[in-house]
Structures are given as structure tokens and as C-alpha cells.
Chains A and B, each alone.
Chain A
């Protein structure tokens, strides 16, 4: 499996660490992991960092995950990066909205490492 550069976006630093651990438990070989506390911060990081995968919460201050996905899709160099939402906002309408905005997957909290594997590997073509 090739090395993956990941961006994890969540306003909880604990959750960012759990997501990173779950990605490693899923078997991903992470060469780098960068973290952001909200969508606006994540867009700033994407100006200067190349990533292969984005995992994002929805409920965040400043810029929520849905607006973040929408803005990612408007940037030519970013729109092909797969985005997977990881959130407690697991209602059907949120799932539909996230996918329609360009997200490639959706994981509801609480989640197991197996669920991360099940949803993340396919969007990476693994």
C-alpha cells in the first residue's frame, strides 16, 4: 500500500487523534498527517500542503464541514481529493447533503476502526 498524506479536520483534538489512530489501524501507511480545527483552517493548510485524503467533522465553529466540502470542490487542485465526513450529525439529510456537495464517504460517530477501514479504503481505490 502506498504512503498516504492525510488531513484531519475536527474541532476536538482528541477526536483528531482517534481518527489518526483508526486510519493506522485500518492499515493505511500514513506518511504525514496534518490537522485543522475547522474548515477555514483546513483550507489555509491546503494552500501549502498536498494531501491524498481528507476526513472532516461537520459540526465545527468558524466554518462547518459542509461549507468546507463545498469550498474544496470550487478549487481545481483540490476537487479530486477524496473527502470522508466523520460526524455525529448522521441524519439522512446530512448524508445526502454532504455527498451532493462532493464528499465521497460518511462515517457516523461513534465508530469502530473497522468502519473507518470499510469507508476509507474504497475512496482511495484500495
Chain B
């Protein structure tokens, strides 16, 4: 799969989809957002992820030189803790702000990720986030492509960030 963005991408980012290079960049982009905005370090996953515990999904579309969807999936409890850390309030006082917070986190991860791929940022736009509540769903892309995934533990709960690229 050949991407159409600028030829002058920095070494390491590459000008074509490269799972080996892009997966750690996605991981780094995610870790930075959590460290800067939530003051929390993400941990590596200690067990296989349990999809049933990931009831919340935030989606952000990318269009332009990178075309696809970035998603972050986590549990209800995780989303509440994320919002509480962002807002500086106890988790039990967080209401629907947890959906808004998760969307903003997805937005920042997508922006941070594309910013780390030199030559991409100027030619790739982000959509406003969409939130899905519930875990029993499947997404079907109209265009086949590649995907990369970064798994973490946030406060001992599983969290997954996925980037699905469209060709």
C-alpha cells in the first residue's frame, strides 16, 4: 500500500504504511496524551484483552493523505476515571462528561499521531469524534486496508487504540 503524502517524511516514519514503524508511533502518541493531559502512565497489557469489558468506543476519522479511522476502546469505569483525571474531580461525580472526555482523548491521539508522521499533518484532516456505547457491534469498512493496534492497561483495566487505514 503506497501512501500519497509528501516524499520528505522523516526517517522512521516512512512514506508507506509500515506496521513495524507505525505501531510504536501510535503507542507513543497515545502514551503522551495520557501523560500530559491525565498525568497518568499507561502500562503494557498483562493479559489478553477482554472485548466484553470495553463498552465505550470513540472514533475519529482521518481524511486526506492518511485516510481511515482511529478508535479507542475501554470500559465504562476506565472512561469515568479518564474524565475524572482530566477534570480533577472524583470519578463518581463524572456524568456524561466521560463520553466527551473519551472523544477528546481520541482526537488528541489522532492529532498527535499524524503530527509525528512528517509530511502528513498538513494534508490530513480530522473529523469531530463519534462515541459508541456498547460492545456488541462490528464495523465494516467500504475500503479494505491495513490496521495497527496498540494495547494498554489504564488503572488495571484494558484499553485498546486501533488505526484502520483505507486504501
Interface residues of A (CB under 8 A from B): 11-15, 17-18, 21, 59-61, 87-94, 108-112
Contact = CB atoms under 8 A, between A and B. Distances in A.
B115 A111 contact: no
Given A21-B88, A59-B128, A112-B36, A92 B104 contact: no
Contact of A110 (B32, B121, B124): B32
A110 B108 contact: yes
A29 to B, nearest CB: 19
Instruction: Classify the interface of chain B: helix, strand, loop or mixed.
Output: helix
A109 B108 CA distance: 6
Nearest to B96: A13
A60 B125 CA distance: 12
Interface string B121-139: 1101111100000000000
A15 B112 CA distance: 16
B87 A18 contact: yes
A109 B111 contact: yes
B101 interface: yes
A55 B108 CA distance: 17
Interface of B: 32-33, 36-37, 83, 86-88, 97, 100-101, 103-104, 107-108, 110-112, 115, 121-122, 124-128
Contact of A12 (B32, B88, B103): B103
A91 B64 CA distance: 13
Nearest to B37: A110
B86 A59 contact: no
Given A13-B97, A91-B115, A60 B128 contact: yes
Contacts of A112: 36
Nearest to A110: B36
